[in-house]
Amino acid sequence: MFRRPHQCRQLGGEFHHFLRLTTARPCLTQDNGFVSSAGYVHEEETHLIEQIRAKARELLESGRVSCVIGYEAATRGGTRPAFIYDPDGVDRLVWNRECYANLTTFLHDKKKPARRGEEVPNVAIMTKPCDSRAINLLLSEGQISRDKVYIIGLACGGMMAEGNLQAPCLRCNVRIPVLYDTLIGDPPDIDVTDDFEDLAELEGMSAEERLQFWLREFDRCIRCYACRQACPGCYCNVCEFDRDDSLWIGMQIELPQKYFFHTFRAMHLAGRCVECNECERVCPMDIPLSLLNRKLVKEVSELLGHRGGMTTDPVPFVTILADGEVSLI
Amino acid sequence: MMFMSHSSLTAWLDELAGERTLIAPRDVGRGHIHLRPVAGSSEITLEYDRPDLSAKEFLFPHTERLMQVEKRSDQVTLHDRFLEKGQVVFGLRPCDAHGLVALDALFRDREPADAHYTRRRQKTALVGIACPQMWESCFCTSLGGAPDDPTHLDVLLTAVEGGYAVQPVTNQGEALLASAAIEEVTDLSLPDIPRNEQVPVLAADQWPAHFDQEYWSRLGERCLSCKLCTFVCPTCRCFDLRDEPVASRTDLVLIERMRVWDACTAPNYRTIAGGHNSRPLKGQRIRNRYYCKFCYYPKDFGPLGCVGCGRCIDVCPVNIDIVEMLNTVYAMHQERDTVEAEAET
Amino acid sequence: MSDNGSNPMRPYVGRLAGTKELATEIRLFQIELQEPAGKAAFANYRPGQFAFVSAFGSGEAPFGITSIPGRGDLLEFAVQRHPHGKTTNGLHRLDVGDPVGVRGPLGNWFAMDEIQGKDILVLGGGIGGAPLRPVISTILDNRDEYGKTTILWAARTPSLLIFTDEYDAWRAAPRTELHLTVDQRPPDWREGNEGLITTLLENVGPSPENTITITCGPPIMIHFVTLSLRKLGFTLDQMLVTLEGRMHCGIGKCGRCNLGDIFVCADGPVFYHSQVAKLLESFL
């Protein structure tokens, strides 16, 4: 009755022999409880991380929060998201010029209790200025409640890639978070204006040239949905693109579907995009998604005077239902 | 040792492209190299390390049309869709060919054989190029492969001064080379490629003891639940199946039944008709992915479900690093052994 | 062998010969296979096996076969329409006479010959009763081969109870009991009990002696029924269950229905609970 696959067999002896020959040693990292060497840290920023760790420790020890979401050193340089539950774990936290990830997307995981019957957890989160706009977005859309999130705001001089400031950081004029509970660091004295220069080349193209530009970019897309999953504004329980009845789009991983996916997602983020650039950062194929989203940022900004997440005002074109619930048109 | 000059290679590839579909490394923009069908050698780039995606998509395509359904009034006719033309995948790396061993075991060798995969496999020749080095995230040598391993290819080329050293591996490879201008040279030595540090991998039967470790939920916490690691993986093979309309007229409806890559890391992967999801947590899903590779796959089908290509390490936006995972599980196992040994004494 | 003949993903074409409303949004589909190869494939399927049914254009989905060979030539499937289910909606839109596809029979089955001589306790929840109907039919058709048979049949509401027009025949069979229950009983419904199937089970209180239980229903029901059965003294070796998974191939390839190193489609869907308990991964 219970048919086992007849191919059941263990790894061959050859493999074990092979293993014995190796000089296998475990590498010690955060994940197995050992602390690895810290990532790349600017000298002037070392005192800031001590402030961050002290605040994190205080929040955990006092019971104000059960988890601190922050950055820790990654395995091969750079940083990665870290979730600290134990006050003694705060020494894992780092703050440097490679803290790219927008951590606010993980707040969606903290909207519900970890176990049935428990309370919604209180969390603290290390928040860069650009990422802080996502918190406003989530507040304006009723996704999180302000008292559940303690914002460790970080003044930011920009993130570096290969020795240079990243392109979005060069035009950024939001240098301290738009909201926070505590602010770490002094606002850097940087005066730039965002004149949407990055869009100039695309706007100079004819419609046909633009189409060809995007088709060539989307050709590389593999529909892995990393852009959608990393985006704090993409949190639908069941995305239109995941619906089994596929009302909007076929499931093919082919150019028409990829083109539709990206343009549809950009439309859904119009007025909501907080310009954190996560979608572009996580894209394994380097599709310049920020151009798509920033074009809509510009349009909404010029037409309606709204910039996603700068305040807790809802996007101009949402419907406020009678019971206060917010619904996108 | 056999040698093929650059110009001979170009001529050979152009000839191959005439009779079959030639699939080769191509620059697809912003420095990305994909294996893609090419019209001839002029579209090929030989400057690349590891193509973004493995060669899996030519045996198990991301979008495979299994059949076309023709509906006329109340009559239905099914037209099977199979690969007709032969194809040569040129420029894949040894680990990509190694990955097909896992797919063969599942799709071809386990009854009932998958007709579409089996047909593609029969019609595909593999001409690999040895890796000039092991890149930072490579750990193929820990899983039975090597940067210059010819085993699972039909022909292996290795870059040497002025051209390539040629190693035919199979009869199909010999036949493929019949039209190539090859010289026999005596003073040719193949480069010695430095190996990366070995990564410890537990045997399949050592994994179950670690299934309930808290480590998995901690690891899953930063996972984004995207499908990236599985799509770039040479062995991940989960798929979804669906009918998509092609054309609709009053007297005729054309539908394609297709299977498309899917990923066990996606949030609703396990949701069944009544809405129940038996893997709602990210840690459960990432654990399943790794257990599939190192525990279930070898138990059920023979080969491991990982060849150490390192792609998932390079692409993961949140640094979920399979080597770190393997080291951690190994450390947990060592610790367990120590505890058990102490308990005995 | 032709390519078509060796393609396990190709459905056999058939015709929708008849339908019957079983319950709210649950319809019985009676299918007549037309191709000789299809008829041959389904000449000897067993209770508990399943098949993929295609509504061409809407896709295919797996359903337990609810008919038994020998009782008529038609293959029967009970299909519950789900609001966002593309295939179940597609099937419910079909008219009698429309073409359909069937791929199978797939999976293992209830070894009815191995459990002869035993008392049988059948527990069906909602649409989960569908693959149990051929079990009941087999027992009733070979009544002397099996001991006392107790059927516990549950649904959320009376309008979701399936195979209602067969209850009289089940009740009338010798040494056979049928107990019905619904989560919430409307005032005018007198045919059965109110409450979950576990409450009913504990009220009926069957003896574990020489008894085999066969359970099919949603995962949460299987979980709680198992707890109740253990309270009554049943061991996991006495409990047969059928599990479901989000299958897309039915032949152990697509990877979607694994529980640890087994595949529900190819190694199941019928298991002794003692086998399920040993799996690394929970079905729940």
B263-319, pLDDT tens digit by residue? 999 998 888 877 889 999 999 999 999 999 999 999 999 999 999 999 999 999 999
Q: Give the nearest chain B residue to A251 (CA atoms).
A: B260
Mean pLDDT confidence for A307-319: 83
Question: With contact defined as beta carbons under 8 Å apart, do C34 and C14 qualify?
Answer: yes
Q: Over 50: is that where the pLDDT of A18 sits?
A: no
Question: Considering chain C, what is the average pLDDT of its residues?
Answer: 94
Span B24-55, pLDDT tens digits: 999 999 999 999 999 999 999 999 999 999 99
Q: A245-293: per-residue pLDDT in tens?
A: 766 788 899 999 999 999 999 999 999 999 999 999 999 999 999 999 9
- The pLDDT, as a whole number, for residue A202 is 95
At residue A45, the pLDDT reads: 65
Question: Rounded to a whole number, what is the distance in Å from the CA of A117 to chain B's nearest CA?
Answer: 17
The percent helix, strand, coil of chain B (3-state, each to 5) is 35, 25, 40
| The predicted structure's pLDDT at residue A320 | 63
The candidate with the shortest Cα–Cα distance to A262, out of A237, A236, A232, A287, is A287
Note whether A20 and B308 are within 8 A (CB).
Answer: no
Which of B82, B227, B272 best tests the C interface by mutation, with the highest count of C CBs <10 A? B272
CB within 8 A of A238, min separation 6: which ones? B268
CB-CB under 8 Å, B66 with C13? no
Backbone φ and ψ for C145, nearest 5 degrees, come out as -80, -15
Mean pLDDT of A161-190: 91
* Nearest Cα to Cα of residue B279 among A244, C274, C256: C256
Considering CB atoms only, which of C6, C101, C252 is closest to B110?
C252
Residues 62-91 of C with CB under 8 A from A: 84-86, 89
Look at phi and psi of residue C28 and say left if phi exceeds 0, alpha if psi is from -120 to 50, else beta: beta
Instruction: Name chain B contacts of A226, Cβ cutoff 8 Å.
Output: 224, 226-228, 317
- Structural domain boundaries enclosing B260: 2-344
Nearest residue in B to C278, CA atom? B208
- Are the beta carbons of C258 and B292 separated by less than 8 Å? yes
Parallel, antiparallel, or unpaired: how do β-strands C262-263 and A326-328 relate? unpaired
Task: List the single range of A2-11, A301-310, B310-319, C116-125 with lowest mean pLDDT.
Answer: A2-11
pLDDT of C220 higher than 80: yes
The 8-class DSSP code of residue B108 comes to I
Cα(B312)–Cα(B335) distance, rounded to whole angstroms?
27
Looking at residue A39, its pLDDT comes to 33
pLDDT of residue A33: 31
Q: Which of A9-13, A292-296, B41-45 has the lowest mean pLDDT?
A: A9-13
Please report the pLDDT score of residue A161 as a whole number: 85
Chains touching chain A at 3 or more Cβ pairs under 8 angstroms?
A: B, C
Which of C84, C89, C272 is nearest residue A2 as measured by Cβ atoms? Answer: C272
Does the distance separating the beta carbons of B222 and A80 come in below 8 Å? Answer: yes
Given A31, A252, A284, which is nearest B328 (Cβ)?
A31
> Hey, what domains does chain C have and what are their CATH numbers?
12-106 (2.40.30.10), 119-242 (3.40.50.80)
Q: How many CB pairs under 8 A join A and C?
A: 32
Asked whether residue B168 carries a pLDDT value surpassing 50, the answer given is yes
| Residue A5 confidence class, pLDDT cut points 50, 70, 90 | very low
Task: Give the up-direction half-sphere exposure of residue B90: CA atoms within 13 A in the CB hemisphere.
Answer: 28
Instruction: Report whether pLDDT(C237) > 80.
Output: yes
| Buried b or exposed e, range B229-263, using 16+ CB within 10 angstroms | bbbbbbbbbbbbbbbbeeeeeeeebebbbbbbbbb
Residues of chain C neighbouring A3 (CB-CB closer than 8 A): 108, 266-267
Q: Do residues A84 and A90 make contact, with C-beta atoms less than 8 angstroms apart?
A: yes
Contact B228 A224 (CB under 8 A): yes
pLDDT at residue number B40:
95
CB contact under 8 A, B115 and C218: no
Residue A103: name the closest of A77, A75, A72, A76 by CA. A72
- Flag if B105 and A7 touch (Cβ within 8 Å): yes
Q: Quote the pLDDT of residue C198.
A: 96
Residue A327: what pLDDT?
Answer: 62
Contacts of A284 in chain B (CB under 8 A): 52, 228, 232, 315
Digit-coded pLDDT (tens) for C42-80: 999 999 999 999 999 999 999 999 998 888 889 999 999
H or E element: which one contains C87?
A: helix C86-92
C275 in reach of chain A (CB within 8 A)? yes
Residue B261: pLDDT band (50, 70, 90) is: very high
DSSP helix/strand/coil, A109 = helix
For A87, list phi and psi in degrees, rounded to 5. -55, -30
More confident site: B94 or A29: B94
Contacts of C246 in chain B (CB under 8 A): 269-272
| Whole-number pLDDT of residue A35 | 28
Mutation target among C81, C82, C86 for the A interface, most CBs of A within 10 A: C86
Half-sphere exposure of A217 (CA within 13 A, CB side): 20
Q: Cα distance from B115 to chain C (closest Cα, Å)? A: 5
CB atoms within 10 A of CB B323: 23
Q: Are A125 and A107 in contact (CB under 8 A)?
A: yes
Interface residue C236 vs chain A (CB under 8 A)? no
pLDDT exceeds 90 at position C10? yes
Among B293, B324, B289, B333, residue whose Cα is nearest residue B197: B324
Neighboring chains of C (3 or more beta-carbon pairs < 8 A): A, B
Alpha helices in chain B (DSSP H): 6-19, 94-103, 115-122, 171-177, 215-221, 228-232, 282-291, 297-301, 311-315, 322-344
Answer whether A246 touches C (CB < 8 Å): yes
Q: Mind telling me how many Å the CA of A205 is from chain C's nearest CA?
A: 40
Per-residue pLDDT tens over the stretch B232-244: 999 999 999 999 9
Q: Cβ separation of C261 and B82 shorter than 8 Å? A: no
Q: What's the mean pLDDT in A155-184? A: 92
Q: Which of B16-25, B33-42, B66-75 has the lowest mean pLDDT?
A: B66-75
**How many structural domains comprise chain B?**
1
Q: How many interface pairs between A and B have CB atoms less than 8 angstroms apart?
A: 164
CA distance C178 to chain B (A): 26
pLDDT at A3: 28
| pLDDT band for position A44 (cuts 50, 70, 90) | low
Spatial contact of A37 and A79, defined as CB atoms under 8 Å apart = no
C-alpha dist (Å) from residue A312 to A143, B220, C56, C176: 12, 31, 48, 66
Separation of alpha carbons A295 and A290, rounded Å = 8
> Residue A1's pLDDT is what?
28
State the helix-helix crossing angle for C219-231 and C197-204, rounded to 10 degrees. 20
* Strand positions, DSSP E, C138-254: 149-155, 176-182, 193-194, 211-216, 239-242
Top-confidence residue, A152 or A19? A152
Cβ-based contacts of B53 with chain A (< 8 Å): 222
How would residue C260 be classed by pLDDT, with cut points 50, 70 and 90?
Answer: very high
Torsion angle in degrees (nearest 10) through CA of A39, A44, A47, A49: -40
Highest mean pLDDT among A31-35, A302-306, B224-228, C185-189: B224-228
Calculate mean pLDDT across residues C178-197.
94
Listed in sequence order, the residues at least 6 apart from A89 whose beta carbon sits closer than 8 Å to its beta carbon are: none
Interchain contact C60–A (C-beta under 8 A):
no
Alpha-carbon gap: A121 to the closest alpha carbon of chain B (Å):
15
pLDDT mean across residues, chain A: 84
Q: How do B63-72 and B253-261 pair as beta strands?
A: antiparallel
